[in-house]
Each structure stands twice: as C-alpha cells, then as structure tokens.
Structure 1
Amino acid sequence: SGLKTVMLAAQAIRVGDGNLFVAGGMESMSRAPYLVPGRTGELRFGNAQLTDALLLDGLWDPFEDWGMGNAAEFIAQKYEVTRLAMDEYALASHQKTAAAQDNGRFTEEIVPVEIIGRKGKVSIFDADETFRRDTSLEALSKLKPAFQKDGKVTAGNAPGLNDGAAALVVASRTKADQLGIKPIARVIGYDQAAVQPKYIFDAPSQAIPKLLDKIGWQLSEVDLIELNEAFAAQILANGIALAELGWDWDKVNVNGGAIALGHPIGASGARTLVTLIYALQDRGLKRGIAALCLGGAEAVAMAIEMEPA
C-alpha cells in the first residue's frame, strides 16, 4: 500500500533511522504481464497456459479462491447493501469527481507529465481520465453483474483498472526547518487491522476505530475522510459498520473516489492521502483520516492535521 510506505517513513523518523523520505506507490495495471508457470521448472518444452499476473498477484484471494469482486458480493450480502444503493453511490462518486475537476480542485495535487507522441508532438497529461461525467443511474442500472450471475457488483459500481502513481515527502520537523521547508500537514498517528480473508472489505471499519482510540479522537472531530472505494459495496458496508461512531457521509470522499478516479492498487493509498491533504487545505479544514483495505485482508488508516497556513 502506498499509505503503508508513509507509515513506514513516519516510523523510521520517530525511531531515528532517518529524517527525510519520499514515500508513495505506483501501479501500471495496463502493463501487468502474463506469466508462464513452471517455465524454469517442469515445463521445459511445449505449450503452456498463460496466467494474468494482475489477477493472480493483486485481485485474487488464494484462501477463499475467489476474486475481489466475489468478496464485494459477500460483504454486500452481509450488510444487506442493495444494488440501488451501490449504483447511487457510484453515480455520486462520478459526479463529485467531475465537479472537482471542473472547479480545479485537483490542480494542486497533480504533477503534469509531458507525453511525446509518435511524431514528436508533445502533449500535457494533467487530468484523470476514467471518470464519466455523462453516466446516469439509468445507465448504471442496466449493467449486468460482473462476478455472480445473480449478483449486485457491476463494472459501474466498481473501480476501473488504472495506471497511477502518488508520492509524498515525509520529514521530521527539525529537518524541514533546516531545509527551509514549510510542512503542509502533520502525521498524528496510524494503525492497521487484519480480518479473516473473506471479510477483507470489513477491515477498514476495524482499522479506523483502532486509530481513533489510539490517538484519542472522536469520529465527529474529524473534518474529512478519504476512504478508498475498492467497491461501492465495500464503502457502504464500512459506513454501516461505523454508523454508531457518527459516520457522516458529507465528510467522506468529497471529491469523489476510486470508482470514478480508478484504483491502481499500489498507488491508491498514497493517492487517498494526497487528495485528503489538498481537500482539507482547499476547504480551510484541519483534521483528516485516510484509510483503505489491502492485500492479506488488512487495512491501514492514518490521521493527519493541517499545519497553519
């Protein structure tokens, strides 16, 4: 997880193993290879079946022997999340992302990249591509279940397969002062949780309360939350599980989330934290939590506070 790298950087600073780090993550899902199992072992000659590395390494649970979409179906059933609720949430994610891009809310958090075309023409890549400003509840409702014949999870209420990267500079205050760098935000604390593999999408609802207890915050004291949208089923289930703590949907993913922006799995944790920082800054708010689930049926969560402007 890209968020775990930030946690590791903060830990290293706190124990004196360093004072300045670049932490983050990347994923190129479009260029994930196909594997030939046994090529250097029993298979010495002849044909072989290719294995999708993206599915095998990133999107498959070997314990339950099912894909992440099946895990999303499982959590939807556990929390009685309806297909309509999932589609409505997905629509809202796209709409919030479109509005955020139109209003320039992503400008500060994106580093433009120059792309050189085949004929040498240079274009500037500075905006996310995958959100659909023209989608509708009607269009989403017509999509067929993607993982189970009678299921609720579709391509519309799940994130896309994306390429992406995100990074942050993590430094001790002493080092930042030494370099003349004004910090944007401060890491208050972090925690993690692990659950049984089939309950992977329950993990964020375990990690967030652990973090709150650790740092002495109430959920009502948090101004904004960035919780990765692995699936609409997952984030809706997490909201139900955390309702008794005062979960407020108006504070969650205010600029949309992975259903609209995409979920390049190695980058998403760092991306949620970057987005959280700039969303807080843009709105003049102070406290935030970034969280997401990750491989091994785990989740990580981090609390930050913005530094005075």
Structure 2
Amino acid sequence: MNDVYIIAPLRTAIGNFMGSLSEIHPAKLAAIVIREVLKKTGLEPEQVNEVILGNVLGAGMGQNLARQAAVAAGIPVDRTAFTVNMVCGSGLRSVVLAAQAVRAGDADIMVAGGTENMSLAPYILPGARTGYRMGNAEIVDYRVRDRLWDIFNEYHMGITAENLAEKYGISRDDQDAFAAQSQNRAEAAIAAGKFAAEIVAYPVPQRKGDPKLFVTDEYVRPGTTAEQLHKLKP
C-alpha cells in the first residue's frame, strides 16, 4: 500500500449567502483553486490522474461540476473527473476517495475537495413538466429541499440541532457561549493572518471598475458576544 500525502490544502475565502461570491459559478471557484494548487506544487496539469469534487446543489449548474472545474483549470480532457454528493460530507468524502485511489496504487496524483454556491440554488416548479391547470402551484426552494431538509423525517436541519440540544442537555446559554467563542476565535485568527496561506484570492467582477479580490471569510462577525446572540430567536 502506498503512503498518501496532502500537499497543497488551498481554498477560496468563504462567502455569505447572497454575499460577495453569490453570482460565481461553483466550477469557477474550484478551477481557480486547482490552478493555484498546480502552481504552488510545480505540477503540470498532465500529471493529475483524476479530479474528485463534492457538491450538493448541482441543479442548473451543468453536467458534472468536477469535470467542468478540471477542464477550466487546464487539466487535459483525457483525465477523468467525477462529482460526489454525500450532503455535508461531500468534500471530505472526495478527499477520502482520492486517498484510497493513491493508497491502492490506482493513481499517483489526485485533486480532491468540494465546491458549492448556495446563492445560485434555483427554485423548482415540480408540476411544470406535466402542466398546470387551474389554481395555485407550489414553488420549491431547492437550497432547502436538497441540502437542508431531512427527507426521512420531513423537517429542517435546524430541528436536528434542537433535538440534539434536548437529548444531551445543552442549554441555550451554553450554545450562545460556544458560538460567540467560535466567532471570536475566527476573528482573531483572521486578524493574525492564520488563514492567509490557505486562501486563494478570487477576483470578483464589479459593476464599475476593476475586479475586487475576495480574500477574507465573510461570515465572521467581529465583536460578537453571547449577549448579542441570546437576543436572536431560536
């Protein structure tokens, strides 16, 4: 069995829902990271055996996002690529699959990760295929239905958090304190430049002027306190 090494763990900064990256196709986000991985490692695109990317909200994004990203990154078209959907575990599962391929001797160099843009998730008209008649019709939020909705119990993922809090006796105060600590630590890490080495700048087009480089995680709220969080509705 071959040893496996992760040699260039890179990513874009994470954008908010409907934030700075809201109009960027997920394959483009992945492609710019793959190109930087090749540049940083000194590898030629031809040396990559396969690309595996996790993605959940692929409706309307075109066929096989991993393939789109690989080709856009300059990897030859005769290299294979496939997309994994294991919901929240999709990206990590892609890395595991790549590691297994190298360990088994089926590949030498793999590119693996995940890419997603929840802001581009479409709304769906389930009855449009067969045609609507009289009366109102339902529009389904694909972002919720295929990513945040438990298909077995028919409830939102947020309810799972409520269930776990009740099961393990986690109080609202404990949750608020933990969340505030997480925000504060992320804020401090950004200020100290802890994430800089792993983030690939993405040039976001602007309505006027040159593109703006997106380099900082957008979801971090500076100065967050447990008291502020306690005022939020469950």
* TM-score bracket, shorter-length normalisation: 0.5 to 0.7
- Alignment partner of 1:99 out of 184, 188, 201: 188
* Structure 2 SS opposite 1:37: coil
In structure 2, the residue matched to 1:33 is 122
Aligned partner letter, 2:205: I
In structure 2, the residue matched to 1:89 is 178
Q: Give the drift of 1:121.
A: 2.2
Q: Give the drift of 1:15.
A: 2.2
Q: Identical aligned pairs, as a percentage?
A: 44
| Higher RCO (C-alpha under 8 Å, 6+ residues apart) | 1
1:135 corresponds to 2:224 = yes
* Residues 1-309 of structure 1: pairs in structure 2 closer than 5 A: 1-41=90-130, 43-44=131-132, 48-145=137-234
Q: Give the drift of 1:44.
A: 4.6
Distance 2:98 2:226 in 1: 42
Distance 2:139 2:165 in 1: 32
Q: Give the drift of 1:120.
A: 3.1
- Give structure 1 stretches of 5+ with no counterpart: 146-309
* Structure 2 SS opposite 1:124: strand
Distance 1:135 1:96 in 2: 10
Compute the TM-score of the two structures, normalised by the length of structure 1: 0.45
In structure 2, the residue matched to 1:279 is none
Q: Give the drift of 1:45.
A: 5.2
In structure 2, the residue matched to 1:227 is none
In structure 1, the residue matched to 2:37 is none
Aligned partner letter, 2:111: V
* Structure 2 SS opposite 1:128: coil
Distance 1:119 1:131 in 2: 27
Compute the TM-score of the two structures, normalised by the length of structure 2: 0.59
Distance 2:230 2:133 in 1: 48
Q: Give the drift of 1:112.
A: 0.6
Structure with the largest fraction of strand:
1
* Structure 1 SS opposite 2:232: coil
Distance 2:132 2:226 in 1: 52
Task: Deviation per CA, 1:152-180: give whole Å up to 9, x if none.
Answer: xxxxxxxxxxxxxxxxxxxxxxxxxxxxx
4+ long deviations beyond 4 Å: 44-47
Aligned partner letter, 1:130: Y
Aligned partner letter, 1:88: A
Equivalenced residue count is: 144
- Give structure 2 stretches of 5+ with no counterpart: 1-89
Distance 1:23 1:66 in 2: 31
In structure 1, the residue matched to 2:61 is none
